[in-house]
Structure 1
């Protein structure tokens, strides 16, 4: 059951960059929970629990961090009764891709039960979570007619993101890092290409986008990643397989690197009735 997405907010650094958020109810139930105490005569506690789908939209993503532990949202029912703080374990989050969203599930337990006369329950507050975003490089034209090529590339900074998103570049233009691409081997009916970004800045690459000469994304099988720990030439890369009929003389590539945005306040405000979420 989904509820409305409650808006977008800026990070700790005060930037005006907004992060669209979506929160939804996965499940809500009242159940008996056995007491942890040894007293067998004690009746089981009745608890109200929630599971929330929570997500951000691309190019943003949520990351796991040991600095983030349990966090709470405030709960109240339609009679005005305060149900206390619902604690959610957000420290062990992992996300998966669903369309244009990166989503996770948070589980929480309410300390109080709603009034028998209540028609709905409201959860509101904010999760403070570590956020990253994928920053695109320009698109680079290159050729593998000779089997291998190396050229400088510019890994866009935050202020360059909008300018670079639609830029085109030609291999050989001025850049700050070196990218090498070569034909590694034949794998059945496919070519395996080795793509390496050589740099000492520790860039984390979120994805590698390979295109044909017209800019159409190629169907690519990612074989495995590569890490060079050579102190004189550190780098990261990817083996990727493309169809054997691909024209290797005219190719394009774009890289997306992960940029940490720090801990960001992401809002939640939702109402849940006995038969699902309550529309605004």
Structure 2
């Protein structure tokens, strides 16, 4: 199935969000109860793939919204709605296409003699747009840090329409560098580091880009990282390494971050058998 809707709710947007049901099957969940392994009752589960063209992407993985589609089986029996947890969206990007998979579960099993289940409704997909920050610079020291205004702060100030802006109202973030050092690999000088950002306001970091003096993006290997958050603080760290340009004097980098745009409504009307989607035959 290939449903589509225009990104950001704007008719002129040329990057449609597409949704495809990629899997369907009966499964049991394993769980621990009172220290003993047990299995849940049999459930009908679905896998749904969302895709969109860059620079659009999908909202934060910490979105915990649950959405439902109406369900009917081939006998005509109306089932309890199927549930989809949009908080399980973990975006991945390749070739200019951003994808995310969401899992769903039927509210109840279809009739024993049913041959398919029809799902119908609308997904409200949390969509974001990737934006580049200004370029920042750190000395090539083992450790460094700097507090900077978060990108987008000026836009928020201008949107307020006031003539006076208090400096305390501008959100800031702590950029930090750790374990910055060089090593040799295949006769080439390499540099490795941990680059991070900590914030106490709403912000959604996607990645860091390392730049040379001409503002060209260097090919950079990501060697892992992580994030942590609580009610008032969120932090990202990335382990990066790259071939160091000749005569490199400082570390130049920028953030690629996500800003939310209007959620996209994607209509769904699909029949699913145990082998996947059942398409209507063309006459």
- The two structures have a TM-score, normalised by structure 2, of 0.57
Counterpart selection for 2:69 from 66, 72, 90: 72
The Cα shift of 1:138 comes to: 4.0
CA contact (8 A) 1:210 1:253 kept: yes
Change (3 A) 1:266 1:149: same
- 1:220 aligned counterpart, secondary structure: strand
CA contact (8 A) 2:178 2:195 kept: no
**Aligned residue in 1 for 2:220:** 219
Counterpart selection for 1:60 from 58, 61, 68: 58
Change (3 A) 1:114 1:56: farther
- 2:220 aligned counterpart, secondary structure: coil
CA contact (8 A) 1:75 1:122 kept: yes
Change (3 A) 1:143 1:207: closer
- 2:88 aligned counterpart, secondary structure: coil
Change (3 A) 1:235 1:84: closer
CA contact (8 A) 2:271 2:278 kept: yes
- The two structures have a TM-score, normalised by structure 1, of 0.58
Counterpart selection for 1:133 from 107, 128, 136: 128
The Cα shift of 1:83 comes to: 3.7
Count of residues paired in the alignment: 238
Change (3 A) 1:157 1:145: closer
Matches within 5 A, 1:214-253: 214=214, 215-222=216-223, 224=225, 236=235, 238=237, 240-243=239-242, 245-247=244-246, 248-249=248-249, 252-253=252-253
CA distance in 2, matches of 1:158, 1:24: 41
**Aligned residue in 1 for 2:164:** none
CA contact (8 A) 2:206 2:258 kept: yes
Q: Is 1:104 paired with 2:102?
A: yes
CA contact (8 A) 1:83 1:114 kept: no
RMSD over equivalenced CA pairs, Å: 5.0
* Structure with the greater alpha carbon radius of gyration: 1
**Aligned residue in 2 for 1:88:** 83
**Aligned residue in 2 for 1:165:** none
CA contact (8 A) 2:67 2:123 kept: no
The Cα shift of 1:26 comes to: 0.4
**Does 151-160 or 217-226 show the bigger shift?**
151-160
Counterpart selection for 1:122 from 111, 118, 121: 118
CA distance in 1, matches of 2:122, 2:4: 11
The Cα shift of 1:184 comes to: 4.2
Change (3 A) 1:71 1:219: same
CA contact (8 A) 1:135 1:158 kept: no
**What does the per-residue CA deviation read over 1:84-126, in whole Å, with 9 as the maximum and x for residues that have no partner?**
344225276353536421212222255543877x6x6532212
Structure 1: 5+ residue stretches without partners: 33-46, 161-174
Counterpart selection for 1:21 from 18, 22, 27: 18
CA distance in 2, matches of 1:132, 1:90: 15
**What does the per-residue CA deviation read over 1:161-197, in whole Å, with 9 as the maximum and x for residues that have no partner?**
xxxxxxxxxxxxxx98577565743265443445455
CA contact (8 A) 1:23 1:54 kept: yes
CA contact (8 A) 2:140 2:251 kept: no
